[in-house]
Amino acid sequence: MLTTVLKDPTCFKFPTEFNPQNFLNEKGKFMKNDAFMPLAAGKRICLGESLVKMELFLFLVAILQNFDLKSPVPREELDLNPNVSGVANFPKPYTLAFIPR
């Protein structure tokens, strides 16, 4: 099951929570983690994986080029843990301000 791989404590420092440090090395640089497979693997892999990755990159770059992002909630008060159900994890709703540059 894919969720089992994504929550493996031998592959992730913080397997049960969303934490960017799962993808950073000791120096704070991005580190590719082969255990991270959001689009599946093997014969069930998503056929549009490369297209999805390119589109996401372009979408995020366009947002970051044109807007400053700010949370109305202080960083200390943010809860980044997802709502967990028996089937999947669902992100909680967040408010984010997009301020034109």
Q: How far is residue 4's CA from residue 96's CA, in Å, rounded to a whole number? A: 31
Flag whether 11 is marked binding: no
Encoding tokens for residue 86? 């028996």
| Token pair listed for 29 | 């640089």
The first and second tokens of residue 73, run together, are 């909630």
Evaluate whether 82 touches 89 at the Cβ level (below 8 Å). Answer: yes
Could you tell me the two tokens for 69?
Answer: 């992002």
Binding site residue list for heme:
46
